[in-house]
């Protein structure tokens, strides 16, 4: 972040003073894009299959089953539904869904019996079962952190940019006042 700020502070902004507004705007955008490309390039992040956040009731066996179901699905893509691979995929999917539902039911039943004397935790389990979570963890938390980081970066950039514009305005304002005064007199 400091590199971007230093890059923008070191840029010679005086060259914008005598430019047409459209050309100056293009130069500003190009300069910002250059700074971002140099110090904060776009990166594609791949999340490993093992690092994906999962439901607490997803067991390692269910994860393997899910992976196998995905492989069977890929084999069926673009093929007619009357082939053996499609029926195998359908059977496996039905079995996988039954096992997943059973695992989910067992998990929540254990959680409810574990917290049967604690109403707060019982309601927390019930709300998570119903999908009404106040939990900010997971992907939404990662996105929130990235957005906060982006907003901090933008705020720092705007502070630098506003300071540069204010300096340019104070230097350019007397010149434009003279032009305005001359034109109003004539």
What residue segments make up the domains of the chain, in order of their start?
2-44+141-185, 55-136
Secondary structure string (H, E, C) spanning 75-110: HHCCCCCCCHHHHHHHHHHHHHHHHHHHHHHHHHHH
At residue 172, the pLDDT reads: 67
Using only C-alpha atoms, the chain has a radius of gyration, in whole angstroms, of 30
Cα 85–86–92 angle (5° rounding)?
A: 90
Q: Looking at residue 151, what DSSP letter applies?
A: H
Collect contacts of 41-48 with beta carbons under 8 A, ≥24 apart: none
Q: Quick one: 177 exposed, middle or buried, by C-beta within 10 A (0-12, 13-18, 19+)?
A: exposed
d(CA 145, CA 136): 11
Mean pLDDT in order along the chain per 10 residues (186 residues):
77 75 80 83 75 77 91 89 88 95 92 89 85 60 70 75 74 57 40
At residue 101, the pLDDT reads: 93
């Amino acid at each position: 972040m400091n590199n971007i700020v230093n890059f923008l502070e070191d840029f010679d902004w005086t060259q914008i003073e005598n430019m047409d507004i459209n050309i100056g705007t293009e130069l500003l955008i190009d300069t910002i894009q250059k700074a971002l490309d140099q110090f904060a390039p776009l990166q594609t992040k791949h999340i490993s299959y093992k690092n994906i956040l999962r439901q607490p009731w997803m067991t390692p066996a269910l994860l393997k089953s899910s992976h196998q179901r995905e492989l069977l699905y890929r084999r069926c893509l673009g093929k007619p539904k009357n082939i053996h691979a499609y029926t195998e995929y359908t059977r496996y999917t039905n079995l996988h869904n039954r096992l997943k539902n059973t695992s989910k039911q067992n998990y929540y039943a254990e959680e409810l019996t574990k917290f049967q004397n604690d109403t707060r935790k019982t309601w927390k389990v019930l709300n998570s079962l119903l999908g009404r979570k106040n939990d900010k963890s997971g992907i939404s938390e990662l996105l929130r952190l990235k957005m906060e980081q982006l907003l901090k970066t933008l705020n720092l950039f705007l502070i630098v940019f506003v300071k540069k514009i204010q300096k340019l305005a104070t230097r350019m304002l007397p010149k434009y006042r003279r032009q305005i005064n001359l034109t109003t007199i004539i």
